[in-house]
Amino acid sequence: MRPLHLIAAACVARAQNAVLLCGSAHTGTHHVKLALEALGLDVTVDHPHLARYEAHLAAHPSSKVLLTTRDAGRWRTSIQQSRPEAALEKAQARREAYEKGVRAAATTLLELDLEAGASYGALCAFLGISEGCPAATDTLPRNLAMQKPPKIAPQNHESVSSLLAMARVRSTVVACKAALLVYPGFEELHRTAIDRADEEWPLGWELREFLPEVFVVDSVLHHPCRAPFDPSQKLPLVSTPRLFVVPAAWRVLSLVQGAQELLKRAWALFDKVVAGRYWEPLMEHHVLLHISTARVVDAWGRRLMDHRLIV
């Protein structure tokens, strides 16, 4: 059987941090992380797919632990809306087991339910912060109402688009040993996500830790070895090897406004790839750029449940 090649990138958090933040996806962990960083704290994030809290606490027994939680019914609804093909029962069991383990392992623990109105007062008291904390009655940020973050003076922050433009400037000549063929639709999806990110967030806010995946996808889309490609047409006979590329910055697509629309577009585009004339006969020439903190099956569902897939 021929393998499908998978190129993956991950952002690894620093290990030597004072606050351990634990929580499952869709419980507000990322927003709590941003709030902690705004308070000047270093944060290590853990979630069920990592489950490294025991090792972290063994190495740093004095760490204070935060656990984000959420009403089970609303959590299941949120998971189903963002990942319709997720196995809810299995995800629920994994979440419950993880939270039970964190509660048993932590000696200093504070649970935060953003929907229930978790406050800065409780958080700062738990962390021992007396200065620089918002009003005690202020609630922690959450994305349930799709609220935009406060704007920061643009002159202090370069846009993602401008950073990408600078990265595209190449001073060396590239000798192409293969032609990159990008499936149509993904480039437009990438531009839409970047435009929305620039509209909503200044660089240094929520998108900052996901910039590597943006650069990886963008470098492929603007690579000098990229060749024209129309998947509906028969490929001409050439001696140069070809790589069919399916680029998707999954995490960025899931964070910007209108994420559900963008994710559905990504799924629809990939379904066309799988149903196309080149996916099956030229499987070994396909490269899937899955740049994400999510597992492949969580992101793409059963679309990639293929025994030839190398993860």
> Could you read off the pLDDT of 144-167 as tens digits, one per residue?
433 444 444 444 456 788 888 888
How does DSSP classify residue 22? E
pLDDT, tens digit, 9 for 90 and up, residues 177-223: 889 999 999 999 999 988 887 776 554 444 556 777 888 889 889 98
Instruction: Provide the pLDDT for residue 229.
Output: 92
Query: Which pTM does this prediction carry?
Result: 0.52
Instruction: Provide the pLDDT for residue 240.
Output: 79
Strand, helix or coil at 221? helix
How does DSSP classify residue 277? T
- Picking from 88, 89, 17, the residue whose alpha carbon sits closest to that of residue 52 is 17
pLDDT, tens digit, 9 for 90 and up, residues 276-292: 999 888 888 887 766 55
Q: Kindly state the average pLDDT of the residues 62-81.
A: 89
CA distance 46 to 25: 10
Instruction: Provide the pLDDT for residue 155.
Output: 45
**Which residues contact residue 266 at a Cβ distance below 8 angstroms, ignoring those fewer than 6 apart?**
186, 189, 248, 250, 253
Instruction: Provide the pLDDT for residue 1.
Output: 41
CA distance 89 to 106: 26
- Picking from 239, 293, 226, the residue whose alpha carbon sits closest to that of residue 33 is 293
Residue 173 has pLDDT above 80, yes or no: no
pLDDT, tens digit, 9 for 90 and up, residues 80-126: 776 665 678 888 998 999 999 999 999 999 999 998 889 999 999 99
Instruction: Provide the pLDDT for residue 18.
Output: 72
CA distance 269 to 186: 7
Amino acid identity, position 113: D
pLDDT, tens digit, 9 for 90 and up, residues 225-280: 999 999 998 888 777 788 898 888 877 777 777 777 888 898 889 889 888 999 88
- Take residue 293 and report the two structure tokens written for it: 């903190």
